[in-house]
Chain A
Amino acid sequence: MNIKKFISKPLAVLAPFVAASVLATNPVMADETCMSPYMVKIVGQEDFVYVWTLGVEGLGDGQDKMVTVDVNPKSEHYGKVINSESVGGRNEAHHSGFTDDRKFLWAGGLDSNKIFIFDVHTDPAAPKLVKTIDDFVSKTGGVVGPHTTYALPGRMIVTGLSNNQDHGGRTALVEYTNGGEYIDTYWMPTDDNLQGAHKGGQFADGYGYDIRALPAKNVMLTSSFTGWSNYMMDFGAMLGDAEAMKRFGNTMVIWDLHTRKPKQVLDVPGAPLEIRCAWKPENNYCFTTTALTSQLVLLNEENDVWKATNVADVGNPADIPLPVDISINSSDTMLWVNTFLDGKTRGFDITDPHNPKQVYEKQIGNQVNMVSSSWDGKRLYYTTSLLGNWDKKAGDNDQFIKLYHWDGTEMTEQFAIDFQAEKLGRAHQMRFGAYSLYGKTAKVEQAKNNIVAMSK
């Protein structure tokens, strides 16, 4: 049965209304700010941070794992690792994302192409691996490197990074049901097959990376990174490989959210990575940063045409600070930009999205990659790993999660967990969990756990 035809259209037509409804009826008080607008929100303080962690050969059990950190300041385990679920193998753990009902967390492996699905609602303190999609490549027709796992109503959209033909950057979007059933593959537009999209500039490379939706505009946006050969290879070796350095994405694609058809291909040279869209209904724009050319890029629509504009430098582009993760706050006034190579986080005032100004800068470590913010913007979590073979070597290879409190003018570190000392691995992407999502309270659940522990 063609599941897509059977289910997708009615849901897709309703999508913007569903999104609007979610946002209107569930005023959020705390959650990370970079999730799908279709996502169920946490109300109150987050209880846990789930850290998708890369296994390191010779460190601990050497496997990728989902690490749970207790982050509720009222908990006796505050700032401690309380659970770790190993998945077998080193899969190049990278990004993860919840289903729209926030009951399951999908975590991809860029190397093995497996997608691990964790149940996070039965016991939010201890996510459990309940399903592994191990036929991603064969099912999708050759897509390699499941990256962003992004929630649409009842669906998960997975962006690929590569393919099984040349391990280059040409790739696709893949759609699954929340239950992990494959639906369809949508290849990124290429010159010989733009699929009706308008190629607005010089490039249509067919590359992929991140995805975000703007339901009010019936739009999905995708960015572009590089293929398996590059993201898996030694970073230093790649910098010295003149052919490899040509294999980075220079495009973003605007998609029709309902039909999953590409509409526009935009030139965004220099590997545009994370996409973050503004939250306010009247703010129909998004940002990205380019990893290699260190530009902050605004994506907005003018006269029914989407455009990409470089609106600020991130650090000194000549130093190649390598912008990586970014995080927008819920009032669309601040954008946090991490730069991997100098280990800094930079705060940009984006009140005027056309003229962002850097207003804050802080050294987080020798290297830094991901940043996750609470909805109120007061808590910022940082982790360090970029890719297994791109992370800094020897003593510069920091691997931690740190929590900072942000008071509007200054950051203060609250706790740090050294993932190497804990023999866990490389700390990568963070997602938040909370008992409140599932009608539970921390006290009751902890009491239950204590009883279980005592009975053992």
Chain B
Amino acid sequence: MRYLSLKISLLLSLCFYSSYGLSEDNAIREQVKTRDFYNSDHFMIKAPEAEGSPSASGNAQNIDGIRIGAGDDKTGYETTGYETNSVAISARHGKKADLIRVLNEPPLGLPKIPIPVDNPMTVEKIDLGKKLFFDRRLSLNDTFSCAMCHIPEQGFSSHELEKAVGFEGRSNRRNAPTIYNTAYLERLFHDARETTLENQIWGPLLSRNEMAMTSMGQVIQKVKDMSDYDGMFEEAFDGKSVDIVNLGKALASYQRILVSGNSPFDKWYYGKETNAISDQAIRGFDLFKGKGQCIACHSVGQKTALFTDMKVHNTGLGFKRTMGKEPEKERMLIAPGTYAYVMKSKKAIVGHAPMPDVGVYEVTQDPDDRWKYRTPSLRNVALTAPYMHDGSMLSLAEVIDLYNQGGVLKNESGYPNVTQSPLITPLGLTENESEDLIAFLKTLNGDNISEVISDAFSTPVGDTISIN
């Protein structure tokens, strides 16, 4: 049974190869000799191609007994050699951590956490915010918490979807961004429309296609009605019960404390530990600040590095998604290593048309802001696939390819992308140089990931408890 899929692949190829003549896929077939077609529109990819396939889904690993990456790891699913690497839901347990310690001792490579004057950090607020963060009852039908999209072991993002899915399965236009190091961000959301973590929470809580609560008052009343919150707000906020201000403060406190640094890069660059990263990663950093020009937007300072300039840019991707033509047919995985083509016309019958997304323009109404999105930090970037504002790139290699080609300056009809950042130009990176860059990016994982995930796992998920 172990190689059943492979055997089926070979058998089917024998059965069908001779029945179907050369087709429009002929060119591909000639290029990739290990590919077994069993008809013109449907084929399998054998295991040897795994080496060249994109490393999507996060490449799960276990550190200190904690799964980092999806518990349902799909690395290598693109080939028939895929084998599951799944962990039980019941294994998802952890230990409460002393998160607040980073307040006075920020990790190497990160600045002191900026704390709003009116929301000083306390353990009580962090614990309360954490409980709220994992509480699915904060949605209209008790099925959605913040953590359903910002999944701790998946980089506080989601490896399982390109674009987030919300209340009653409603579509969202963008990828769920990581919340690591959001404490330092001056603008929040991909379109930079929000200014503080305290205010930010109301976006997803009240959005019809996220948690779908119908009003601030409804949220507050719902929390008041949950007996397991009795006394918690009062304890955290000097005797005050839950209201729209302190609910925001509590959730912001938990998110703000999730800073992550002291990465191998930090140890090498700021800590001067010469062996902390590999020679390949060092070459990658040289490219990052040199030929690759990445550092122009993903800033690195003398004492600390946030790897973001806090600005918004048009990289070409948003333009392509909105102004480009959808292909007549798309290749689609239907089982490990098994693909089929889905026609655009067929997709249109079973799906709603994609929602337009014009980026920061939607906030400023300034045509110059069309298809601009906030520069994300690159810290923990290896843990937060898929990438870009729409999650459309499954691997870092794909992202580098976009920049290497100089973004997208025009669509298929020649319509120009006039707002593309002038910082994005063709780079001329070789394949080896791209690999060096990726090696560098993988050195940006913080040293507290397993601890933060374990702490998250120790928090009960809020679900409806019957009162009958």
Q: A113-B143, A243-B394, A250-B335 are in contact. Are A232 and B169 (CB under 8 A)?
A: yes
Contact of A237 among B2, B90, B142, B351 (CB under 8 A): B351
Report the stretch among A31-39, A199-207, A327-335, A413-421 that lies at the interface.
Answer: A199-207
Interface of B is mostly: loop
A86 surroundings in chain B (CB, below 8 A): none
A240, chain B: closest CB distance, angstroms: 7
Q: A243-B56, A318-B42 are in contact. Are A202 and B169 (CB under 8 A)?
A: no
Asked if A93 is at the interface (CB within 8 A of a chain B CB), the reply is no
A200 surroundings in chain B (CB, below 8 A): 1-2
Q: Whole-angstrom distance between the alpha carbons of A390 and B175 in the complex?
A: 21
A344, chain B: closest CB distance, angstroms: 15
A241 surroundings in chain B (CB, below 8 A): 161-163
Please tell me if the beta carbons of B463 and A237 are within 8 angstroms of each other in the complex.
Answer: no
Asked if B309 is at the interface (CB within 8 A of a chain A CB), the reply is no
A133 surroundings in chain B (CB, below 8 A): 466
| A133-150 contacts to B (CB < 8 Å) | 133-135, 137-139, 141-142, 144
A203 surroundings in chain B (CB, below 8 A): 83-84, 336
Asked if A116 is at the interface (CB within 8 A of a chain B CB), the reply is no
**Closest B-chain residue to A242, C-beta based?**
B394
Please tell me if the beta carbons of B464 and A137 are within 8 angstroms of each other in the complex.
Answer: yes
Q: Whole-angstrom distance between the alpha carbons of A392 and B160 in the complex?
A: 24
Contact of A206 among B41, B86, B333 (CB under 8 A): B86
A172 surroundings in chain B (CB, below 8 A): 89
B25, chain A: closest CB distance, angstroms: 11
Q: Whole-angstrom distance between the alpha carbons of A434 and B58 in the complex?
A: 53
Q: A164-B136, A202-B2 are in contact. Are A246 and B74 (CB under 8 A)?
A: yes
Q: Whole-angstrom distance between the alpha carbons of A266 and B160 in the complex?
A: 24
**Closest B-chain residue to A138, C-beta based?**
B463
A139 surroundings in chain B (CB, below 8 A): 466
Report the stretch among B240-248, B257-265, B290-298, B340-348 that lies at the interface.
Answer: B340-348
Q: Whole-angstrom distance between the alpha carbons of A341 and B87 in the complex?
A: 34
Asked if B85 is at the interface (CB within 8 A of a chain A CB), the reply is yes
| A271-318 contacts to B (CB < 8 Å) | 271, 290, 292-293, 307, 310, 317-318
Asked if A170 is at the interface (CB within 8 A of a chain B CB), the reply is yes
**What size tier do the contact residues of chain A reach?**
35 or more
Please tell me if the beta carbons of B342 and A239 are within 8 angstroms of each other in the complex.
Answer: yes
B143 surroundings in chain A (CB, below 8 A): 111-113, 144, 228
Please tell me if the beta carbons of B334 and A245 are within 8 angstroms of each other in the complex.
Answer: yes
Please tell me if the beta carbons of B351 and A236 are within 8 angstroms of each other in the complex.
Answer: yes
| B157-195 contacts to A (CB < 8 Å) | 158-163, 165, 168-169, 171
Please tell me if the beta carbons of B88 and A392 are within 8 angstroms of each other in the complex.
Answer: no
B170, chain A: closest CB distance, angstroms: 8
A248 surroundings in chain B (CB, below 8 A): 334-335
Q: A164-B461, A269-B338 are in contact. Are A111 and B141 (CB under 8 A)?
A: yes
Q: Interface code B89-126, partner A: CB below 8 Å = 1, 0 otherwise?
A: 11110000000000000000000000000000000000
Please tell me if the beta carbons of B340 and A317 are within 8 angstroms of each other in the complex.
Answer: yes
Q: Interface code B15-56, partner A: CB below 8 Å = 1, 0 otherwise?
A: 000000000000000000000000111100000000000001
Number of residue pairs A-B, CB distance < 8 angstroms: 240
Please tell me if the beta carbons of B171 and A234 are within 8 angstroms of each other in the complex.
Answer: yes
Please tell me if the beta carbons of B350 and A390 are within 8 angstroms of each other in the complex.
Answer: yes
Q: A190-B86, A242-B162 are in contact. Are A236 and B350 (CB under 8 A)?
A: yes
Q: A135-B465, A204-B86, A246-B57 are in contact. Are A169 and B334 (CB under 8 A)?
A: no
Please tell me if the beta carbons of A393 and B349 are within 8 angstroms of each other in the complex.
Answer: yes
Please tell me if the beta carbons of A293 and B352 are within 8 angstroms of each other in the complex.
Answer: no
B89 surroundings in chain A (CB, below 8 A): 141-142, 163, 165, 170-172, 187, 206
Contact of A205 among B72, B81, B163, B333 (CB under 8 A): B72
A228 surroundings in chain B (CB, below 8 A): 143
B335 surroundings in chain A (CB, below 8 A): 248, 250, 269-271, 290, 292-293
Q: Whole-angstrom distance between the alpha carbons of A78 and B5 in the complex?
A: 49
Q: A234-B171, A247-B74 are in contact. Are A192 and B91 (CB under 8 A)?
A: yes
Asked if A235 is at the interface (CB within 8 A of a chain B CB), the reply is yes
B142 surroundings in chain A (CB, below 8 A): 112
Q: A229-B165, A243-B161, A293-B334 are in contact. Are A267 and B347 (CB under 8 A)?
A: no
Please tell me if the beta carbons of B1 and A266 are within 8 angstroms of each other in the complex.
Answer: yes
Contact of A243 among B4, B148, B159, B350 (CB under 8 A): B159
Please tell me if the beta carbons of B88 and A192 are within 8 angstroms of each other in the complex.
Answer: yes
A231 surroundings in chain B (CB, below 8 A): 169
Q: A112-B143, A165-B461, A267-B1 are in contact. Are A170 and B86 (CB under 8 A)?
A: yes
A134 surroundings in chain B (CB, below 8 A): 464, 466
A361, chain B: closest CB distance, angstroms: 20
Please tell me if the beta carbons of B72 and A168 are within 8 angstroms of each other in the complex.
Answer: yes
Asked if A396 is at the interface (CB within 8 A of a chain B CB), the reply is yes
Q: Which of A232, A236, A250, A390 has the most CB of B within 10 A?
A: A236
Asked if A8 is at the interface (CB within 8 A of a chain B CB), the reply is no
Contact of A202 among B5, B88, B151, B349 (CB under 8 A): B5
Q: Interface code A185-204, partner B: CB below 8 Å = 1, 0 otherwise?
A: 00100111100000011111
Q: A166-B154, A167-B148, A205-B86 are in contact. Are A111 and B168 (CB under 8 A)?
A: yes
19 contacts between A and B (CB under 8 A): A166-B160, A168-B71, A187-B88, A190-B87, A193-B87, A201-B2, A202-B336, A204-B86, A206-B86, A234-B171, A234-B352, A239-B332, A239-B351, A243-B391, A245-B333, A247-B72, A292-B340, A307-B1, A392-B350
* Chain B positions near chain A (C-beta within 8 angstroms): 1-5, 8, 39-42, 56-57, 70-72, 74, 77, 81-92, 136, 141-143, 148, 151, 154, 158-163, 165, 168-169, 171, 330, 332-336, 338, 340-342, 346-352, 354, 386, 391, 394, 461, 463-466
Other than the given A170-B71, A205-B84, 4 more pairs (CB < 8 A) read: A137-B464, A191-B87, A235-B351, A239-B351
> What 8 pairs across the A-B complex have the smallest Cβ distances?
A236-B351, A232-B169, A135-B466, A318-B42, A269-B335, A200-B1, A292-B334, A235-B350
* Chain A positions near chain B (C-beta within 8 angstroms): 89-92, 111-113, 133-135, 137-139, 141-142, 144, 163-172, 187, 190-193, 200-206, 227-229, 231-248, 250, 266-267, 269-271, 290, 292-293, 307, 310, 317-318, 320, 341, 388-393, 396
